[in-house]
Structure 1
Amino acid sequence: MGLNQNQKKAVETTEGPLLIIAGPGSGKTFTLVERIHYLITKKNVSVENILVATFTEKAAQELMTRISNRLHQANISCNINDMYLGTIHSICLRILEENREFTRLKKNFMLMDQFDQQYFLYQKIYEYMRLPNMDLILGDKTSRWKRAEILLKWLNKVSEEMLDVEQLKSSDELQAQTLGYCYELYQQHLEEENALDFSTIQLEAYRLLKENRQITMQLNENLQYLLIDEFQDTNTIQEEIIFLLAGGNQNICVVGDDDQGLYRFRGATIRNILEFPSKFENGKCKQVELSTNYRSHPLIIQFYNQWMKQNNWSYEGKTFRYDKQIEPREGNHPESRTVIKVSGSDGLRNWEEEVYQFLISMKEKGKLTDWNEIAFLFRSVKNDKVVSLANYLEERNIPVYSPRSNMFFERKEVRLIIGAFMFLFPQFPKVRKWEEGSYLREWEIYDQYLREFAGELRKQENKKLLRWCQIRAKEHMNLHENTDYSFAGLFYQLLQFDLFNRYLEQDSYIVKDSRPVRNLSLFSKLLAKFEYLHRVTIFTPKTINTLLTTFFNQFLRFLINGGINEYEDESEYAPSGCVSFLTIHQSKGLEFPIVIVDSLNATPRKQYSELDEILQENFYRKEPFEPLERTKYYDFWRLYYTAFSRAQNLLVLSCQENIANGQGTRNVPSEPFLELYSKLKTWRETNDIYKLEIEKIKNVNIKKQYSFTSHINIFENCALQYKFYKEFEFSPVRQGATLFGTLVHQTIEDIHKYAIRGEELKIKEGNVEDWFNANYNNLVKKERVYLAPQTQKAALKQVLQYVDKQNNDWSHIKDAEVDVSLVKENYILKGTIDLIRGENNTVEIIDFKSEKKPDLFKEADMMYHYKRQLEVYAHLVEKRTGQQVSKMHLYYTGEEDSNPYVTFPKDIKAIGKTISAFDEIVKRIEDKDFLIKKRPEKHCRNCDMRFYCNEKL
């Protein structure tokens, strides 16, 4: 498909600011790829001079794949990873990591996701509660967990709106004043923990750019063309960062659709896209509208155009929407009714049966070939009505894919594993106790899981498991000495028994088939997170009951209350064999042949509080934009516009009709939908729908990243280990052994960076010890693992030995810990490399090993393995940078008596063979070929899956 006239204009308008309004299905991603291709091929722009910001990591990965494929087709060789391509968060993180010494951050900082952040606040909530007037922000009757959730929202708002904390603290408004003191305390906590959350990533990046002119100028010089996708969903601080990165160079292209702005609740502001042209001199910003829809049938387009037109977007002389008309593509379209309703009749309560009958009729009479061609969209997938429909369909053999429906703790495999933990720790009277007089309803759930697990233990086939559990439970009840495990260790021991290992035997990688093993994997991650947050490695007689109380009464309880999303495959948004149940927000950017939109009982609802009003009126950096009282309507209209525009062939509106009868009930569908809904025919009134050509779900093409150490090495050692840790993503129990090597590597990296900056005089024993200790303290804080004092001394000794052997000559150091990646035809090859200067303008690769030099003959297999690793690095350096590699070295920092180097000459043929072998292994991984002929015994000792393998292999 070629570019249409407006797409061509969007591609070729490269100089100066450009606003692209891209309606649904208008070929936005295709246009972005062509624009980047045009910059590289026609404007001769280097990839490192381009920044592309996307809304999600998945969108970034898909865009990278499509750009690399496009360049590959054109026979153009360049490294896409040199481009600043990712979410705004990931780009900010990259800038912070590249310039960390100019920020408050220390090495090994902890990056918290939303759960981590809320749990972090929960653990410290009493410190916040001691601040005056906290009840004005948090209320006085909510739980600690709810208070942490409310506090998190307000703290993130301060970061995202860049509110002046001193101004808040000195405010006459008590709520604002209290929020200022909260934020000040939160910043102290973050600094103490060397931590970042997702909002402060951006705040730290903003501060770095504002306070370090030299860094900002260098970025301005490098980043000549900026392309920002989904601009309608950016917030205040993101807009500021984008303009700081652009500097005086105004080649900023923003793309988005104001009609699909859905993320006000996350701080996004629609004003960024509506006001973008006014950021520049009058007439300077060009504007292109992509309004030809290549996705949907014309009647579907007509329907959602009408939905937007029937609403009033003006208020006091201002309009809060770009006026646009989406048009269908040229060509023939089926003459068929493509917008219908599938609803239960008033008073009959037959909605679930009506939906089921419609689905069956489409399968039997229509041209539906896979259930995944149907998506249900709801405001929320967590309410009882939606869960009930999912159960109704599944009971009738229509599988439902609904990973965000809060069903994780209702899945059998999860119920059984929690039931097993209950059985293994029979200290119930002590553990159940909570705050005086307080009863936790979660114990009813735990008891139910225990009964289910006990029921399984009574079966003959689980006799072995029963005996094992009885022995363990007795030990735990009267623990006399330390164990060598904690929760995660027990979890992996349980996997040896048939009750659980049957889930691991699943060889299908289709999402609906692999859900149980994916859920067990997720449970392993939750256990790892608990042990990390509470610094747990073993059970002791003193700590066991306290840990159980914390685990059941706090951690697990809040996970159950907060809800856990199940596994989602980023490369398969609509798994084969299932209908999809998605939130409307979740469906954004996706398309489905048949879309069923429910939640027609909804009405616009207020989303702001008194404190929102205070902040917006008095503390935001700009005057208020949209009138607060109108935002609930605008957001409502945009939400359902997004839902309706997902449909390709058939759009269905669905509800349990209910006519208000004056007894407290209300109309369903609600008033906003009535006019359009009332004109629709039911599915039983038209046979047109069976004549439709139903399209297939499109494959999402995402190239995966592979490195020698994190992927090839594991696969070659044991393909089964790769299957569990990399494919299914089980979280291994933390091993302290790697801390030693990481500590040595990081301190040598510090030394090299001083040498590269020309500050060799600072490389002396006292400073090296300081760097070493700082690295150790930060690593310990992050990893929650410690080294014995003697082991710390041994690690420091290796570093100081390395310094001594250089004899104050650092001129050979060229680069340290360089992340190098290469986009290949089917995957992305990654590596981290240290470079030293070679002869005749060549470079040499050096890899550090924190151990004694092995016997080169007895350990020939290991040396061959390391040589291949260095060959991969050599291939990366030459293809990625164009520099010639002349030699490859291993440096053994633990070697005291002899030459610490092992050197290999570069052999082009050998490198070619290694890369071919790498390609073959990647192919096996992508083909899900994890068979092993023989168990690799030497790798089993430290593998958590050894209990499972002992039983099954």
Structure 2
Amino acid sequence: MIGIADAILKEFPELNDEQLEAIARTEGPLLIIAGPGSGKTLVLVLRTLNLLLQGLANPDEIILCTFTEKAAFELRDRLSLLARKFRYDGNLTSLYVGTIHGLANSFLLRYRHHTLLGNNYEVLDELTQLLFIFDHFDEIIGAQDNEKYLGRWKTRWKAIEGVRNYFNKITEELIDPTALQSSEDPFVRAIGISYKIYAQKLSKTNRTDFAHQQKLFFRLLENSEVGKEIKSKIRYLMVDEYQDTNYVQEQMLLSLSEEGGNIAVVGDEDQALYRFRGGTVRNILEFPSHFDNCHIVTLSVNYRSHKHIIEAYDKFMRSWDWKDSQGVIRFRFDKEIKPDPKGSFPDYPAVFSIWGENKDDEARRFAELVAFLKDNKVIEDVSQVALLLHTVKQEHSGPYLKALANRGIPTFCPRARAYFQNEEIRYMVACYAILLGYYGEGRGKLAGRTLRELGTYVDDCLVMLG
């Protein structure tokens, strides 16, 4: 801990003690538990600039990782803006600010000759990965057995999506596929064989997916020569949204920081959302256990929300026992989220319930609430209201969409099953059907109920187009 540059203290006198501690703690492993609305982005930006202003590192010795490109753009913009304000004249373009995937790819491009990747290799995204499996379906998945692919899926596309999820998990968890192939479980053995063929196809066609991209970078870091060279150039590593990282990302980041030892991760186990994409909350919960001297700072003040919302949330979360049945393993850090002590809060019911006699009545009451908020200028636009449902399938979202439409309130629910019934979508489908010749005899034989339903839908779209 070396302190904070005078320029930062002068420009941001309102920083609280927890924020100041997170910025000033520059040496060794650091876990910043950042609750909602706690100013974590500002802390990350100021911590980075503090390292630069104090002369602790050059820009090319700092890596700042976040989870999405959007968040990375925001960090870059704020870093650039404040660097100018602080009159820092270093070359910020050499400071890496981006996603973990982007970080892996940047080093793979630089050290490609140490991998099996060829020149101009292609990185498959979520869609092109599915299409790649589709193109090599017969080799990777094979024919049906008892009307099921790999003994589990009835349709080709369900099988493609299913194996894709397994393939990503196998790669992200660094599982040895040969162990799967020798399993006594027929499905596990089949997945192991399919994965081996899939990996071979990727290599043969000079392609990689996101999961393999990170695994390849991790293997680079394990290389005694190349790994040491990469790690020696990094003095400070900071990672945002650490609660959403997966296993291979955790291992990659821990390995990357071995030489300098200065790794700071920011996250909140209460906001772990990406388990469906392989993220595991264990990474942030177990982060301190990887070190002998990990310092923990909790940003506990929420500057964003009404105090009644904060109090209700904190009371609810603290009412549970977050330990396992033996009382040994904890699933949440002990913390108290507090409202801004200097904030002023309007006197209105920030937390309340709406209920009705049935779905339609409840939806009508909700629509009336949104209209009331807009008419009384509590909100400037209806886009400031979000309705969260456990699923947006038509049977659940339909009553709300109808009630809001009856009040003239526009909605955006692209994942509702009614999406393909939207007029503009039906017109687009009809146009594509004409362009691609997907009508009449041009379709060929429509085998199976799903394809026949698709054909009927496209016909309806064509009729609508006229």
TM-score (norm: length of structure 1): 0.45
Asked if 1:172 corresponds to 2:184, the answer is: yes
* 2:258 pairs with one of 239, 244, 247: 247
The residue aligned with 1:317 is: 327
Provide the secondary structure at the position in 2 that maps to 1:85.
strand
Asked if 1:139 corresponds to 2:151, the answer is: yes
Q: Does the aligned pair in 2 maintain the 1:352–1:389 contact within 8 Å?
A: yes
Q: Distance in 2 between matches of 1:134 and 1:158?
A: 26
Closer/same/farther in 2, CA of residues 423 and 234 from structure 1, 3 Å limit: closer
Q: Distance in 2 between matches of 1:278 and 1:95?
A: 28
Q: Does the aligned pair in 2 maintain the 1:18–1:254 contact within 8 Å?
A: yes
Q: Does the aligned pair in 2 maintain the 1:33–1:63 contact within 8 Å?
A: yes
* 2:62 pairs with one of 34, 50, 55: 50
Aligned ranges 1:175-214 → 2 under 5 Å: 175-211=187-223, 213-214=224-225
Cα deviation, residue 391, structure 1? 4.4
Asked if 1:256 corresponds to 2:277, the answer is: no
The residue aligned with 2:9 is: none
Cα deviation, residue 420, structure 1? 3.5
* 2:303 pairs with one of 294, 300, 304: 294
Closer/same/farther in 2, CA of residues 288 and 142 from structure 1, 3 Å limit: same
Closer/same/farther in 2, CA of residues 108 and 407 from structure 1, 3 Å limit: farther
Q: Distance in 2 between matches of 1:7 and 1:135?
A: 59
Provide the secondary structure at the position in 1 that maps to 2:304.
coil
Asked if 1:398 corresponds to 2:416, the answer is: no
Q: Distance in 2 between matches of 1:18 and 1:342?
A: 43
Q: Does the aligned pair in 1 maintain the 2:243–2:280 contact within 8 Å?
A: yes
The code of the aligned residue for 1:393 comes to L
The residue aligned with 1:371 is: 382
Q: Distance in 1 between matches of 2:91 and 2:145?
A: 55
The residue aligned with 1:307 is: 316
The residue aligned with 1:90 is: 102
Provide the secondary structure at the position in 2 that maps to 1:340.
coil
Which is further off, 391-400 or 324-333? 391-400
Closer/same/farther in 2, CA of residues 432 and 202 from structure 1, 3 Å limit: same
Closer/same/farther in 2, CA of residues 335 and 423 from structure 1, 3 Å limit: closer
Provide the secondary structure at the position in 2 that maps to 1:269.
coil
Cα deviation, residue 60, structure 1? 0.6
Asked if 1:266 corresponds to 2:280, the answer is: no
Q: Distance in 1 between matches of 2:303 and 2:359?
A: 39
Cα deviation, residue 384, structure 1? 3.5
* 2:131 pairs with one of 100, 107, 119: 119
The residue aligned with 2:226 is: 215
Q: Distance in 2 between matches of 1:334 and 1:417?
A: 47
Select the structure with the greater relative contact order (CA < 8 A; seq sep ≥ 6).
2
Q: Does the aligned pair in 1 maintain the 2:149–2:155 contact within 8 Å?
A: no
The code of the aligned residue for 1:209 comes to L
Cα deviation, residue 363, structure 1? 1.9
Cα deviation, residue 104, structure 1? 1.3
The residue aligned with 2:5 is: none
Asked if 1:327 corresponds to 2:338, the answer is: yes
Provide the secondary structure at the position in 2 that maps to 1:350.
helix
Closer/same/farther in 2, CA of residues 442 and 182 from structure 1, 3 Å limit: same
Cα deviation, residue 277, structure 1? 1.1
Cα deviation, residue 214, structure 1? 2.5
Q: Does the aligned pair in 2 maintain the 1:131–1:178 contact within 8 Å?
A: no
What does the per-residue CA deviation read over 1:494-524, in whole Å, with 9 as the maximum and x for residues that have no partner? Answer: xxxxxxxxxxxxxxxxxxxxxxxxxxxxxxx
Aligned ranges 1:878-889 → 2 under 5 Å: none
Q: Identify unmatched segments of 5+ residues in structure 1.
A: 455-953
Cα deviation, residue 4, structure 1? 0.6
Asked if 1:155 corresponds to 2:167, the answer is: yes
The residue aligned with 1:497 is: none
Cα deviation, residue 419, structure 1? 1.9
Q: Identify unmatched segments of 5+ residues in structure 2.
A: 1-11
Q: Distance in 2 between matches of 1:409 and 1:136?
A: 28
- Identity score, percent: 34
What value does the CA root-mean-square deviation take over the aligned residues?
2.4
Q: Distance in 2 between matches of 1:276 and 1:322?
A: 12
What does the per-residue CA deviation read over 1:310-330, in whole Å, with 9 as the maximum and x for residues that have no partner? Answer: 333222122211011101111
Q: Does the aligned pair in 2 maintain the 1:202–1:237 contact within 8 Å?
A: yes
Asked if 1:230 corresponds to 2:224, the answer is: no
Q: Does the aligned pair in 2 maintain the 1:19–1:253 contact within 8 Å?
A: yes
Cα deviation, residue 40, structure 1? 0.6
Provide the secondary structure at the position in 1 that maps to 2:253.
helix
Aligned ranges 1:502-541 → 2 under 5 Å: none
Provide the secondary structure at the position in 2 that maps to 1:104.
coil
Q: Distance in 1 between matches of 2:39 and 2:296?
A: 17
Closer/same/farther in 2, CA of residues 58 and 16 from structure 1, 3 Å limit: same
Aligned ranges 1:610-649 → 2 under 5 Å: none
Provide the secondary structure at the position in 1 that maps to 2:352.
strand
Q: Distance in 2 between matches of 1:113 and 1:84?
A: 22
Closer/same/farther in 2, CA of residues 435 and 135 from structure 1, 3 Å limit: closer
Provide the secondary structure at the position in 2 that maps to 1:11.
helix
Q: Does the aligned pair in 2 maintain the 1:64–1:80 contact within 8 Å?
A: no
Q: Does the aligned pair in 2 maintain the 1:134–1:178 contact within 8 Å?
A: no
Q: Does the aligned pair in 2 maintain the 1:39–1:45 contact within 8 Å?
A: yes
Provide the secondary structure at the position in 2 that maps to 1:289.
strand
TM-score (norm: length of structure 2): 0.90
Q: Distance in 1 between matches of 2:438 and 2:71?
A: 47
Asked if 1:413 corresponds to 2:424, the answer is: yes
The residue aligned with 1:105 is: 117
Cα deviation, residue 347, structure 1? 4.4
Q: Distance in 2 between matches of 1:306 and 1:28?
A: 22
Closer/same/farther in 2, CA of residues 422 and 261 from structure 1, 3 Å limit: closer
Closer/same/farther in 2, CA of residues 403 and 40 from structure 1, 3 Å limit: farther
Provide the secondary structure at the position in 1 that maps to 2:225.
helix
Q: Distance in 2 between matches of 1:260 and 1:427?
A: 47
Aligned ranges 1:384-533 → 2 under 5 Å: 384-405=395-416, 409-423=420-434, 425=437, 428-435=440-447, 440-454=452-466
Aligned ranges 1:28-43 → 2 under 5 Å: 28-43=40-55
* 1:276 pairs with one of 287, 292, 309: 287
Cα deviation, residue 120, structure 1? 1.6
Asked if 1:349 corresponds to 2:375, the answer is: no
Q: Distance in 1 between matches of 2:23 and 2:33?
A: 13
Aligned ranges 1:750-761 → 2 under 5 Å: none
What does the per-residue CA deviation read over 1:406-430, in whole Å, with 9 as the maximum and x for residues that have no partner? Answer: 6654343332233234456486135
Q: Does the aligned pair in 2 maintain the 1:21–1:289 contact within 8 Å?
A: yes
Closer/same/farther in 2, CA of residues 268 and 248 from structure 1, 3 Å limit: same
Highest CA radius of gyration, 1 or 2?
A: 1
Provide the secondary structure at the position in 1 that maps to 2:197.
helix
Q: Distance in 2 between matches of 1:233 and 1:20?
A: 14
Equivalences, count: 450
Q: Distance in 2 between matches of 1:153 and 1:164?
A: 16
Q: Distance in 1 between matches of 2:251 and 2:214?
A: 10
What does the per-residue CA deviation read over 1:886-927, in whole Å, with 9 as the maximum and x for residues that have no partner? Answer: xxxxxxxxxxxxxxxxxxxxxxxxxxxxxxxxxxxxxxxxxx
The code of the aligned residue for 1:216 comes to G
Provide the secondary structure at the position in 2 that maps to 1:314.
coil
Q: Distance in 2 between matches of 1:208 and 1:334?
A: 55
Closer/same/farther in 2, CA of residues 135 and 260 from structure 1, 3 Å limit: farther
Q: Does the aligned pair in 2 maintain the 1:132–1:178 contact within 8 Å?
A: no
Q: Does the aligned pair in 1 maintain the 2:68–2:99 contact within 8 Å?
A: yes
Closer/same/farther in 2, CA of residues 35 and 133 from structure 1, 3 Å limit: farther
The code of the aligned residue for 1:13 comes to R
Cα deviation, residue 189, structure 1? 1.0
